[in-house]
Structures are given as C-alpha cells and as structure tokens.
Structure 1
C-alpha cells in the first residue's frame, strides 16, 4: 500500500504552521513526515526539545517521522552506529542517513534494539552495493527503507531513464522505495531556497502534483511518495489522495458475469492506473457511464499502434443506443477519447484512446480528450493494466 508523506522545514517555518500543515495532510490520509535535525540551530537540549515536540505532534495524528542526520551530527550528540538511544527517547520512527559509516557499521544500525528503521539514500552511487550486502545479511523490510533525493535547482533532477533503471535494480531486494514530488502551490519553501520546486525527477518538476505521483507509481518500482516543498495546497493533497485510493472491486462490475464466462481472465489483470480526461459537452449519459463508471477498462494487448482499446463497454451495450454524432475534423488527434457508435454496431460501446491520429470515418463519437500532460501517463499503461478514468478539474 502506498504511503504519502510531507516534509517540514523547522528552519523556515514556525512550529505552529508545521503542526497546521500536518493536520491538513493527515486529513487526506498522509502518514509520513520528514524533517532534518541538521537544520535547527540551538543548544543540544533545544534541538532535542524541538524534535520531541514535532514527533509527538505527528504521532498524535497517526504519522511516522523520518529525521535526517549525518555522522557529524550523531557524534555531536554522543550517538553512533551502535547507539541510537537518543532517537528512541524522542520517539523517532525512521532515521535517514545523510552520509554513511560504511556497509558493516550501517548494518549494525539496522539491528538497533529500538525498532528504528534506517533510511538509505536511493540516489547514492554506491547504494546498490550496500543494499545487496544488507539483503545478504537478511536485514528485514521493517528495518530498512530507501528514499531518493530532491533537487531544488532547475535542470539538476534525475534523468527519467536513470531513475527507472535504478529503481528496477533496487526493487529486487524487497525494500520499500520512496520518491519525491513537487507542489505547484505559490510561495512554497524548502532546502536551498527551492524556488523552483523540489522533485526527484527533472521532467516531472512542473507537472501537476498528482500526475507526477501517478507516473512514478505507474512504473511499479516505487512504493511511497513524499512532497518535497511546503506547503502544498489542500487541493493538491486531495488530488493525491484520490489518485491512490483502492480501485473498485471487479466483482462489483455490471459485466463481471460476462468476464467470468470468458474463462481465467481475472488473474491476468495488472495494477490500476488512472487517467484524467476532459469531457466533451455533447457526451451522453450512456457514453459518460461507459467511460467513468464501467469497470474494468483495459487493453487486452492485441491493439494496434494507433489506439488504446477497451472492449468492456461492448459487453453491456446490446440494448443501449449510441447514435453517431458529427465531428468536424477529418482526423481524431492524439489524446482523443472516442467511443464506437451504432454505425459499427458489433463494436458499439468500446472505448478507445487515440495514440496516432486516426481517420474520422463516422463510426466513433468524440467523448473526451486527455487532460494536459496526461499523454505521458498513457505511455506508462501496459497491456492488461486496469485503467480508471477521472474527470479533470483544475486545482
């Protein structure tokens, strides 16, 4: 199950505002908060008092806390890889290592008697070698997790291809991986100024926050998503929560009986991925129902390069009229969402997404178009993946 989280910056915002943000995030099902103990100035006792209060506030909301430290910080507080008693006292859940003692000593940290989970930097160049060592030493999943870096400077985030490749290699070891997305809300803050957001992946920096998240999760190798900059807008938190809610049960589908009649199809279903669409003004109630309410929607894998194709609507459309509707264009452009109409009765009700422009032959009605940037999400939908269409609204 995907966990959502936020980041708090005690050096940039008062505790009262951070607590308010945590309450809002918790309202939408966020269960993690990350902060850095390196960022708070003061005496040792003042720093301990501050994070004790932060941890308590998060725990009262049912949120786990990850605190960023390095070896110099641990030394300052008389802590080390074999002594994490202070973090137990302040009730820290996850300790993120900004730096390393080396694989053998980091392994000892994972075996601490307090159940504090150790978080490694998934972006580090040597992390795979260290994770392989931990796996060989049988470090359990509840003792170790990974999280990528975030990049405040524009054009410095990770390459998408490198991000995918690294996660795919790391995922084989079975530890949870988190990545960071960026709020588009005005006047956000974060490390090193962060005027241009705080994502892990550069190509995602300016996309709507829920699309950033859906694209990352669609790769199948990332488990959790954190918002890098603060404070995300409530509408963004709500959109993220909506995008990770559990999919509707296939057994509740009006075509479930017909699907079962086709044989052992159910085990072939892939994960549920969500696409946002802008509905056409002339869409009929039947067309709208076929698009937004009918489950499952999926491409069986035998479509051409021109379209993504879901046959499910055909199964309930025997006595449901979809009369042809005129469309002025000679071609349906990329991103058009169409439904086969009664001019091709055998296929009537079938939902298709145009991937290469197709001729308007009068046998399809335009019912929607992909929302801005959603074509990038379409690229991540594989054969057999369940697809749920969400009506687009700006936030």
Structure 2
C-alpha cells in the first residue's frame, strides 16, 4: 500500500499570491504535502503565465510539496508548447501534469517516459478500460498516477458504487490514486459555479475531516486533496489529526462510564473479529486484557441502536469487558452502553470488515 497524503488546491488565476502563500505555509505546518494546481483557465502571454506560476510553485517547493498541474490541450495551444516536450512544466518547477483529456493509450504510456521525469496523472472518473489500454503499451508505472475529477455543481458528483468500480481498476494495478473533498467555506475553484468541489456526491455536505475519513476508508485513495480554496484553519487542523490508515470513530461517551470502560474505549487498538456477525462488530482482545477488572451494570436496560458502543458488564461471564459496536437494534442487559458514534460517521460502519482495525476518539476532547 502506498503512503497516504493530504493535499490542497490553489488557483493562481483566481487568487492572491500572498493569500496562497499563507495558506500553503499553514497547510505545510500541519503535514500537507501535495498541491493540485489548475492551469485550465489561464489567459495572457506565456511570460506572464510563467512568472505567476513560477512564483507560487517556487514557494511551494521550498515547503517540500509535490505539485501536479492540471492541463488541457487548449493550454498547450495557448502557450505554444507540445506534448512531445514537457520542459516548460519542468522549468516551472512542477512535479507532474494531470491530463484533463486522454489520448489513445500509446501516447500516455510514452509520456510516462518523458526525460524530465514528470509524473503523468490521468483521470480516474471513468469505468472503462482506459488504464488497461495505457498499461498494455508498457507504461512507466512509477510515473503514472490516477486522480478523480471534482464536481462543482450540486448533484453531479460520483455515486459511491461507481466511484468504487473506478477505483478498483487503479488499485488492482497498484497505481497511485487521488480524489477530492470540499471545504464548507472555500469559495475559490476553477469555474464560476462552486457548490463545493468534492469527488463523491455523498461527501458534499459532510464536515471536511469526515469526507477524508470516507475516502481513506474505501482503501482506494492514497491522496486526499481539498478541492476548493481556502479551507479554514479549523478545518485544516481537524483534517490533519485524522488517522489515514484506519477508521477512527468520533464517539460521545455515556455519563456513567467507569475508568476501565474509558480505558477500553480509548487506550486500545480495536480489531473486528474475522468470524463476523450481522448484529455487532466485536473487539474481543480487550476482554482478555481486562478480565480481572470489575464492571458493574449501568445504562444496560434499554434497546441498543445502530452506532451505540457497548461493553460487557459483570453479568456477562467470559464476555465481560468485550467491546461491541451495535449494527442491528437489540436489548441485552449484560451490556453497558458506553457511548454512541456521532451521526455523521455512522456510514463508516460499512467499512469495518473482517479483521479491520479501528479506534475511537472522544467528541468532548
């Protein structure tokens, strides 16, 4: 599996250089390492474009960002450059280019051998044999990335099932992948319509950090990039704190929790049993670790609902102190309710598979 990264987007033709610099500095300080930079809407002469982009790219490279420029055939025409010579982008300081439009497969494969060693990123948002065609021409795989589109118009983002089919095509070939999430406050994008810039329609109204949790939880995305600018400081900070490699549920705890229950919740790596059931997600190792610890019944005489988190109490015999996440409503007085996963994250339960690792963070911390 590739290392997972966070990224931001900047739009030099729609933004102020100083604001871009401040944004990139803040994101860099929080561990963001990738930039998506649009060149689709440039205008003006070649020198002016070079000066503008060189300035922000140079600043970003000093912060150790990897920078991919989004380009189209129109840009090559405007700037009078050729796909057969990518030195222009190397001179700008970019690490790669994203092809907004595809070719015949042979062309993309040849581009991955460009002497400038630029990454060639292709569009992931299609469920056709485009990638296989490129690979059949013996592409240079380390220099071939995939990146989904973003969708500025509400209602036009990808459905989850289609997103997953597209993503599996790329991950099965070990291609580095990326997709977009959307800040709730960012107003800058490439076009004059900006209802947010996510890849998945499902994510459009979710908090930024939960969108990222979603993309990482699919196991199909290596780089999660904020599509619009500028995300708020609070959004960047929350996003920087997520676990990129396992689902970390935000939980609101029950008032009556005892010391042992809070330790079980927050101080342990949870693993779903491989022999799964439909009623609960079971984390069983903790019951062995805390088998000597008493756990009196509390918050146990109720019907537990999907997303409730429970721990076996003293009346549960060998299952005392086993942690479970409820999938199907049921009552069982041998279990204490110790918390509930926040509403926005309940859908993440679908990504806890046999042997999946997961953790909890306290909503009130």
TM-score under structure 2 length normalisation: 0.94
8 Å Cα contact 2:145-2:177 kept in structure 1: yes
> How far has the Cα of 1:310 moved from its partner?
0.7
Alignment-derived partner of residue 157 in structure 1:
157
Residue of structure 2 aligned with 1:322, choices 295, 313, 317: 295
2:262 equivalent to 1:291:
no
Q: Does the residue aligned with 2:142 lie in a helix, a strand or coil?
A: coil
Q: Deviations over 1:212-251 (max 9, x none)?
A: 1122222222211111111112222222222235xxxxxx
Alignment-derived partner of residue 167 in structure 1:
167
User: What stretches of structure 2 of length at least 5 have no aligned partner?
Assistant: none
C-alpha distance in 2 between matches for 1:76 and 1:335: 54
- Higher alpha-carbon deviation: 320-329 or 89-98: 320-329
Residue of structure 1 aligned with 2:275, choices 285, 302, 309: 302
Cα distance change of structure 1 residues 124 and 316 upon mapping to structure 2, 3 Å threshold: closer
Q: Does the residue aligned with 1:24 lie in a helix, a strand or coil?
A: helix
Q: Does the residue aligned with 1:373 lie in a helix, a strand or coil?
A: helix
Alignment-derived partner of residue 224 in structure 1:
223
Alignment-derived partner of residue 106 in structure 1:
108
C-alpha distance in 1 between matches for 2:279 and 2:209: 27
Q: Does the residue aligned with 2:343 lie in a helix, a strand or coil?
A: coil
C-alpha distance in 2 between matches for 1:356 and 1:285: 27
C-alpha distance in 2 between matches for 1:284 and 1:224: 39
Within 5 Å, give how 1:83-98 maps onto structure 2. 83-98=85-100
8 Å Cα contact 1:71-1:80 kept in structure 2: no
C-alpha distance in 1 between matches for 2:190 and 2:241: 28
> How many equivalent residue pairs?
363
- Higher alpha-carbon deviation: 68-77 or 101-110: 101-110
> How far has the Cα of 1:319 moved from its partner?
2.0
Alignment-derived partner of residue 180 in structure 2:
180
Cα distance change of structure 1 residues 195 and 102 upon mapping to structure 2, 3 Å threshold: same
Q: Deviations over 1:144-186 (max 9, x none)?
A: 10110000111110111000011112222221111111112x3
- Taking only aligned residues, the RMSD between alpha carbons, in angstroms, comes to 1.8
2:343 equivalent to 1:372:
yes
TM-score under structure 1 length normalisation: 0.87
2:21 equivalent to 1:19:
yes
8 Å Cα contact 1:81-1:105 kept in structure 2: no
Q: Deviations over 1:87-119 (max 9, x none)?
A: 111111111111234322222222110111111
2:355 equivalent to 1:353:
no
C-alpha distance in 1 between matches for 2:189 and 2:198: 11
